Amino acid sequence: MSELLSDIALFGENIPWLEGIRSRGRNAFVMPTAKTEAWKYTKLHVLQRDDFVYAPSKFLEELEGCAEEECDCGCEHHHENEECTCGTHCHCAHRPKLYIDLPFDAYQIHFYNGKFMPLYPALPVGVEVMTLMQAVVEGEVQNYLGKYIDLQSYPFAALNTAMLEEGLFVKIDAGISLKKPLMFIYHTQTEQHLLSNIRNIFVAGKGANISVIEYYYHIGDDKDCYFNNIVNEFYLSPQANITHYKFQNEAFKAIHIALNYARVRENAFYKSFCLQKGADLGRNETKIDLLQEQAKSQVDAAYIMNGWATIDTTTDVAHLSPQTISDQLVKGVVGGQAKGVFQGKISIVKDAQATEGHQLHRALLLSDTAEIDVKPELEIYADDVKCSHGAACGEIDQDQLFYMRSRGIPEEEAKQMLIDAYLLEVINRIDNEQIREWILSNV
Amino acid sequence: MNTLLKIEDLCAQVAGKEIIKNFNLTINEGEVHAIMGPNGAGKSTLSYVLTGKPGYEVTSGHIWFKGKDLLKMSVEERSREGLFLIMQYPVEIPGVPVTSFLKHAVNAQRQYNGEPELDTMEFIKYLREEAKKLGIDNEMLKRPVNVGFSGGEKKRLEALQMTILKPSLAILDEADSGLDIDAIKVVSNGVNALRNEHRSLLIITHYQKLLTYIKPDFVHVFADGHIVKSGDQSLSEEIEQNGYAAYTREQ
Ligand SMILES: Nc1ncnc2c1ncn2[C@@H]1O[C@H](COP(=O)(O)OP(=O)(O)OP(=O)(O)O)[C@@H](O)[C@H]1O
Ligand SMILES: [Mg+2]
């Protein structure tokens, strides 16, 4: 992994500010070991075993349409801004079937094998989407990028920072409410051991309101082995609302490591739901700073896995001001020889009185060889707080299973119904009915 | 008359304890059998052995259902072959609404019989009609199975499931417990509506009341793991009068 860092050419090496941030990332990146506390349950041997390759971005060419000579798709839609069904792949924007049919309307944004496909949805006034590098050039992200994430604590955010290039900058102006969700679809279809490194920054102005969906959508061979290293940063001005949904459905051999970092100001609300179902190693980590009074967060998650996978949900909510509120419900279903990891930290600083922090993790074990590791952590320095945390582990209820089977429902179907019912509690916390149904249909 | 169920020298144990001891019973098509017996005699155990509940282990004997070896069938196969149990203690299933539960059950049965799956709208209409006859309102059909249901409501739902699945042999394990007088009538009507010359009933009860609504052809006294006396309906009257003292070992 470290060698990889030395010999790639990235965009904007002549921009000192950007290079400075990257070099901090390079210096901070150390592969976690079995002794690294934050990674003690989630082993990274899969990562050390594989040699990943990074394909440098061609985004400048793509912005202008790809170079003729590089493209051999030969289709008549070539370089026109419409969808193409010719079935061949080229470097231009006309990849087949990028647009996907969903049971809800969304502004779709597509990444293909870790690269942003410059097909911009027609967004209403007040919402702006541009590539991160364009935002760097235009001086939009200097107040955010590289300023807040502690690279020592987040080694893969350090790697992500060292390789800053891909990703988007999204800005929602004050008072703007985006009616449809903005949906990032990460298509992956690769036989290479591709490393994709993506950094997105979302800035919501005062009172702005937006839903963001991330869909990690694998379309290639089941055995595709690749590594998606994602960092999202969310900046919520006072009264802003960001609802963040994520469905991680990577290939079985893939590695997916993500950090979501949110800074939440007065009366703002960062609400998220993440369903993890794919990947050999999937870690969805969330760090939230509740900065001012009535800043609120809700970080829910569900996960289901079998085989040998490890799925990790790690959160760290910092109550940095009085009267801040956080809530979290995580429910998992683990079968085969898989391993579920939940690490949940709530910290409340000394002066953060009248604060509320709740957290609950529950898991259903489907086999004797399935494993759950749970590490709740409360660090409370204020005295006027309402805090709760809990963890419970159970199995499928044999009486329920018998009852269903005695009505003719086949055992596997009955189990699936019980699993759905188990996860329903957390999925029901999704407000948007269509998105809730979509998630439900995918468990 | 065809034999529907034949239990031969059945011995079965639960948690290492022998509960069913040399049990014999034959039920022909169209017959109604009632079993009465003291608490803890093994009546519910028998119903679980018949339906194949895990943990209920048959140590010897045979059970033939429609000429097939029942003990070789899985729980769900037994159901699809036409065996149904109204449970003494129906199970709560949080998160699974009654309607979708029953739809899965019906479609599993239809699939087994090579019939096409039911259309959802059609099914809901049919389900509502049948539910209404048993005094179950539409709101209850949307609730999770048995969760928060009163004792009587649970039994009504059991009866509804039976009505929908139309079994060849229904075992009613204290279907009358927890029911008020009117509800016993409603449930009995539901059961009677299902009866025909091919369908049979095995009614486990402590009270003669139910048997005045669903008239049994045979009444058996079950004690110490097997049938100790068989007779007609007058036997149930006698038991109601005198209790089981004459039939238990302690006597
Ligand atoms: N899972 C079990 N583990 C241990 N003992 C059991 C189990 N199930 C049943 N038994 C025992 O088997 C005996 C018979 O129980 P069963 O429920 O069949 O009685 P019953 O005749 O249905 O009684 P009632 O009239 O009270 O319903 C009882 O002594 C009971 O405690
Ligand atoms: Mg009983």
Q: Provide the CATH number for the domain around residue B216.
A: 3.40.50.300
Distance A62 CA to ligand 2 centre (A): 74
DSSP-assigned letter for residue B117: P
Ligand 1: which residues within 6 Å by Cβ?
B 14-15, 17, 19, 37, 39-45, 88
Q: Is the pLDDT of residue A5 over 90?
A: no
Alpha helix ranges (H) inside A36-108: 45-49, 59-63
Give the 3-state secondary structure of residue A71.
coil
- Across A36-40, A262-266, B131-135, which has the greatest mean pLDDT? A262-266
Count Cβ–Cβ pairs < 8 Å, chain A vs chain B. 73
Mutate to test the interface with A, among B47, B70, B75 (most CBs of A within 10 A): B75
Give the residue-averaged pLDDT of A296-312.
95
In angstroms, rounded to a whole number, what is the distance separating the alpha carbons of residues B88 and B172? Answer: 8
Q: Do B93 and A400 touch (CB under 8 A)?
A: yes
Give the 3-state secondary structure of residue A146.
coil
* H or E segment to which residue A3 belongs: helix A2-6
Query: Chain B residue with minimal CA distance to A412?
Result: B76
| Domain total in chain B | 1
Domain ranges for chain A, please list them: 2-55+95-397
Quote the strand ranges of B98-217, DSSP E. Answer: 144-145, 169-173, 200-204
Q: Do A405 and B75 touch (CB under 8 A)?
A: yes
The string of pLDDT tens digits covering residues A346-393 is 999 999 999 999 999 999 999 999 999 999 999 999 999 999 999 999
The string of pLDDT tens digits covering residues A192-240 is 888 999 999 999 999 999 999 999 999 888 888 899 999 999 999 999 9
Q: Which residues of B fall below an 8 Å CB-CB distance to A?
A: 51-54, 74-76, 78-80, 84-85, 87, 90-96, 100-102, 104-105, 108-109, 112, 144, 161, 165
pLDDT at A48: 72
Strand B56-65 to strand B68-69: parallel, antiparallel, or no bridges (unpaired)? Answer: antiparallel
In angstroms, rounded to a whole number, what is the distance separating the alpha carbons of residues B170 and B65? Answer: 12
Write the residue in B76, B90, B94 that is nearest to A408 by C-beta.
Answer: B76
pLDDT at A154: 97
Order of all β-strands in the sheet with B56-65: B17-28, B3-14, B56-65, B68-69
Distance A139 CA to ligand 1 centre (A): 76
User: Which ligand is the nearest neighbour of the Cα of B172?
Assistant: 2
Strand A227-236 to strand A194-204: parallel, antiparallel, or no bridges (unpaired)? Answer: parallel
Q: Is the pLDDT of residue A98 over 90?
A: no
CB A271 within 8 A of CB A245: no
Query: What burial class does residue A191 get, using C-beta atoms within 10 Å of its C-beta: 0-12 exposed, 13-18 middle, 19+ buried?
Result: exposed
Q: What is the DSSP string of B56-114?
A: EEEEEEEEEETTEEGGGS-HHHHHHTTEEEE-SSPPPEEEEEHHHHHHHHHHHHHHHTT
Distance B201 CA to ligand 2 centre (A): 17
pLDDT at A68: 42
Residue whose CB lies within 8 A of the most ligand 1 atoms, among B10, B11, B13, B14, for a mutation test: B14
In angstroms, rounded to a whole number, what is the distance separating the alpha carbons of residues A352 and A294? Answer: 11
What pTM, to 2 d.p., does this model score?
0.86
CB-CB neighbors (< 8 A) of A420 in chain B: 95
Give the residue-averaged pLDDT of A45-74.
58
Q: How far is B94 from chain A (nearest CA, A)?
A: 7
- Could you list the residue range(s) of the whole structural domain that residue B38 is in? 3-247
Distance B174 CA to ligand 1 centre (A): 14
Q: Do B91 and A413 touch (CB under 8 A)?
A: no
Q: Do A408 and B80 touch (CB under 8 A)?
A: yes
CB-CB neighbors (< 8 A) of A422 in chain B: 95
Closest residue by Cα to residue A269 from A326, A347, A231, A187: A326
DSSP-assigned letter for residue A84: B
Mutate to test the interface with B, among A395, A397, A398, A404 (most CBs of B within 10 A): A404
Q: Is the ipTM of this complex over 0.85?
A: yes
In angstroms, rounded to a whole number, what is the distance separating the alpha carbons of residues B175 and B88? Answer: 7
Sequence length of chain A is 443
Closest residue by Cα to residue A435 from A97, A101, A105: A105
Q: How far is B242 from chain A (nearest CA, A)?
A: 36
In angstroms, rounded to a whole number, what is the distance separating the alpha carbons of residues A397 and A405? Answer: 12
Q: Do A417 and B96 touch (CB under 8 A)?
A: yes
In angstroms, rounded to a whole number, what is the distance separating the alpha carbons of residues A439 and A427? Answer: 7
Sequence length of chain B is 251
A355 contacts: CB under 8 Å, gap ≥ 6: A319, A322, A323, A324, A325, A348, A382, A384, A385, A386
Cα separation values, A98 from A87, A94, A111, A158, Å? 11, 8, 9, 30
Quote the strand ranges of chain B, DSSP E. Answer: 3-14, 17-28, 32-36, 56-65, 68-69, 83-86, 93-97, 144-145, 169-173, 200-204, 218-223, 226-231
Return the residue matching tokens 């006294």: B221
A146 contacts: CB under 8 Å, gap ≥ 6: A21, A24, A161
pLDDT at A67: 42
The string of pLDDT tens digits covering residues A149-164 is 999 999 999 999 999 9
Query: What burial class does residue A142 get, using C-beta atoms within 10 Å of its C-beta: 0-12 exposed, 13-18 middle, 19+ buried?
Result: middle
